[in-house]
Amino acid sequence: MQSNFVDAQEKSIFLFSDIKIKGNDGEELSAHRSILVARSGLFNILLSGKNVTTQDLIFPEFSSNTLLVILEYLYTGKVTEKSLIIETVAEAYHCADFFLIEQLKLQIIEFFKNRDVDNKVNVSAKILSQILEYMESSDNELTNLLYDSVSSVPLETIEYCNLNGKALEYILSKIKKEETNMLSTLEYNLFHYIILWAANEISEETLSFYRSCLPSSEIVNNLNTTYLQKWNFNIPFNIQEIHSRYKPTMITKTSSLLDYVNLDRIHPLVISNIIEPLSGLISPNKLSDILEYLWL
């Protein structure tokens, strides 16, 4: 596999290698101990001890494709599309962070910035999900860049499949912390997205059911907040029966996310006609307090 990313002129740099590096897929990458020790502080620690005689290093955290990005940088001082692709940006950044190679992290960020890809916001959402799975801390430049990309559009335009729970909660926490809405995202839009995102995580059938339960954002946002009006959205007659099938999983997936929604900013007709029948997602006491406040 290693020869796949180097052309004929570059293959010679791996001649006479004296060490093998393996990722979690078992593929072997050839390298030179002296170069790794000289150009990486972590490799220096791993390989320069007096009693270190190993000829193999195994990094189960990373794929061989990602380790190849590290080797290309250590040997050439740069990364190219021969080793780095958009699908491996998150893991490559995590790997560069693991090996304490700050300049490589910057190059990966520039690679992503300059990469012309279709539907870049959804690509950013997917990479954001990956990087938050890989790294313990979200305080890094790539995560900030990805959030800026994702938050440049209304949340509902991001496909559910591109956000995992960690990424969605990260986005919601940023919205709440900054005390601003993502463009025109209103509280019901957040509730609507969270419920359908969780349903999509379960199955297409579940998504279809909850989609039939929730009026569109346009309908809700057009409700007059100054007086009562006729409720024209027809919900399924057996909403509670079907909801009970999915309720335990839906509660698990949405409980922490719904904490970021200010329900008292949602129209009382929506609370009583939509959210209340979806029992369990919001505690009865909280719903009662909200309705009492809204009808004052």
pLDDT tens across 85-94, in order? Answer: 999 999 999 9
Q: Given a cut of 80, is residue 15 above it in pLDDT?
A: no
Condensed to tens digits (0 to 9), the pLDDT of residues 125-166 reads 999 999 999 998 888 999 999 999 999 999 999 999 999 999
Instruction: Give the pLDDT score at 168.
Output: 97
Identity of the amino acid at 70: I
Condensed to tens digits (0 to 9), the pLDDT of residues 94-128 reads 999 999 999 999 999 999 999 888 899 999 999 99
Q: Which of 50-59, 68-77, 101-110, 253-262 has the lowest mean pLDDT?
A: 50-59
Instruction: Give the pLDDT score at 296.
Output: 61
Instruction: Give the pLDDT score at 164.
Output: 98
Strands 28-31, 19-22: pairing kind: antiparallel
pLDDT band, very low/low/confident/very high, at 288 (cuts 50, 70, 90): confident
Instruction: Give the pLDDT score at 231.
Output: 59
Instruction: Give the pLDDT score at 272.
Output: 84
**Mean pLDDT, to the nearest integer, of 48-74?**
85
Domains of the chain as residue ranges with CATH: 1-83 (3.30.710.10), 186-296 (no CATH)
Most confident of 14-23, 55-64, 244-253: 244-253
Instruction: Give the pLDDT score at 68.
Output: 94
Instruction: Give the pLDDT score at 182.
Output: 47
**Mean pLDDT, to the nearest integer, of 57-67?**
94
Percent of the chain whose predicted confidence (pLDDT) is above 90 = 56
pLDDT band, very low/low/confident/very high, at 3 (cuts 50, 70, 90): very low
CB 30 within 8 A of CB 14: yes
Q: Which of 45-49, 70-74, 76-80, 238-242 has the lowest mean pLDDT?
A: 45-49
Instruction: Give the pLDDT score at 91.
Output: 97
Instruction: Give the pLDDT score at 16.
Output: 72
**Mean pLDDT of all residues in the chain?**
86
What is the CA angle 126-69-162, rounded to 5?
A: 5
